[in-house]
Amino acid sequence: MESQYMASNNGGLEGANGGRGKEVGVANKRKVRGSDLILRFLGFALTLVAAIVLGIDKQTKLVTMTVVSTLPPISVPVTAKWHYLSAFVYLVVANAITCAYAAISLLLVLANRGGKKGLALMIIILDLLMVALLFSASGAALAVGLIGYQGNSHVQWNKVCNVFGKFCNQVAAAIVVSLLGSTVFLLLVLLAALNLHKKH
Amino acid sequence: MESQYMASNNGGLEGANGGRGKEVGVANKRKVRGSDLILRFLGFALTLVAAIVLGIDKQTKLVTMTVVSTLPPISVPVTAKWHYLSAFVYLVVANAITCAYAAISLLLVLANRGGKKGLALMIIILDLLMVALLFSASGAALAVGLIGYQGNSHVQWNKVCNVFGKFCNQVAAAIVVSLLGSTVFLLLVLLAALNLHKKH
């Protein structure tokens, strides 16, 4: 009897405030969806830029070498390419995968106006996997880039950035853009969690 | 009028099935909470093991060196330590932070029997940050470990694992355990998202 009373009371309240409540709900939904779309497009653009900036990275320099000590040193052209280091290959591939996923998910979110729950959940899970992929790739490239920049005397790995300065700057730019892209996907997962949390 | 009828109808249904629905709900909640606690403990154990395995890694070896070509080569003790490479320092620190967080969050989840929503949301957000931290650290250590294992002829970084085999094996073990720990935190965020999604 009590539950029935409470239920009809709720029904009455809904009748009085239903219109305004619905409007606020729709406005909130639009706001969340708008932020999601903007962030997703930003993620797409950032990962695309990171993949391209590192993917076209190449520098040729004349390095002076002494072959025979009695002869004067000769200059040999040496080229640094992005695919010489596996960590950089991983960064380019990870950014390319995430960029393609961002484009597809952007279309899916735009098409999913009805708000199918299964699709929304799938997108959260994939967003989360992209966070893991991009952060591991950025970490890998950053670690190798740091050794290239500073060298490491303990293992006798010499720095190479004093010779290939432009190459290293381009790598650094790609890593920074990739880290921004990772943060965007992190924010997308956060936004989804906040949104689900608010609804529930 | 219609909304009132529907509301009282729902009230009636609740009256009839309320008991069973509540039981199923509580059972589900317990199941989710149980998985969360088990995963969180697993994450704590894995990150603790990873931090310790890498944190005590050290190997001294006698390396034969030729100082003067007319004299016989001499043996010099050379030590490999985990903190010689910044990527390994990052991995140990990241695992230590995550381990401490796992312990604290385990206590918080255990204490939060009432299910405060704000705390639950904070834990999801921090879990997500741990995913990013651990994956970037594992990626960094893996990239540097691979160069130590294979070397890289393009930048003339020689492999060191042929000399310090035991040291490298211990690094590899720490990276594998750390990657397992990262996956556990990924699963924790996934579980929370699934749970929120199911409720909503």
pLDDT of residue B55: 92
Residue appearing with tokens 């397992």: B180
A58-69 pLDDT, tens per residue?
A: 888 888 877 777
Phi, psi of B58 (to 5 degrees): -165, 135
Strand pairing report for A58-65 and A74-81:
antiparallel
pLDDT at B11: 41
Rounded average pLDDT over A163-189: 95
The mean of the pLDDT values for chain B is 85
Put simply, the chain A residues between 5 and 44 with a CB less than 8 A from any chain B CB are 6-8, 10-12, 14-15, 18
pLDDT of residue B116: 79
Cα–chain center distance at A48: 9
Contact status, residue B134 vs residue B97, Cβ threshold 8 Å: no
pLDDT band at A200 (very low <50, low <70, confident <90, very high): low
pLDDT in tens, B98-153: 999 999 999 999 888 767 788 888 999 999 999 999 999 999 999 999 999 999 98
By C-alpha distance, the chain A residue nearest B119 is A197
Contacts of B148 in chain A (CB under 8 A): 155
ipTM of the complex: 0.82
- 3-state SS, residue B122: helix
Q: How far is A131 from chain B (nearest CA, A)?
A: 7
Q: Which residues 43-62 of B are in CB contact (within 8 Å) with A?
A: none
> In whole angstroms, what is the distance from residue B160 CA to residue B163 CA?
6
Residues A125/A128/A129/A130 CA torsion (nearest 10 deg): 120
* Mutation choice for A interface testing from B126, B155, B182, B200 by most A CBs within 10 A: B155
Report how far residue A140's alpha carbon sits from residue B87's, in angstroms, rounded to the nearest whole number. 9
Altogether, the residues listed in chain B come to a count of 200
Compare A155 and B4 and report the one with higher pLDDT. Answer: A155
Low-confidence ranges of chain B (pLDDT < 50): 1-18
Mean pLDDT of A153-159: 90
**In the predicted model, what is the mean pLDDT of residues A74-86?**
88
Query: CB A128 to CB B193 under 8 A?
Result: yes
Cα separation, A148 vs A159, whole angstroms: 5
Contact pairs from chain A to chain B, CB under 8 Å: 166
Buried b / exposed e across B158-183, counting CB within 10 Å, b at 16+?
ebbbeebeebbebbbebbebbbbbbb
Alpha helices by DSSP H, A117-161:
117-150
pLDDT averaged over chain A? 85
Question: What is the three-class DSSP state of A65?
Answer: strand
Sequence length of chain A is 200
Cβ of A144 under 8 Å from any chain B Cβ?
A: yes
Tokens describing residue A143: 């670690």
The pLDDT, as a whole number, for residue B19 is: 54
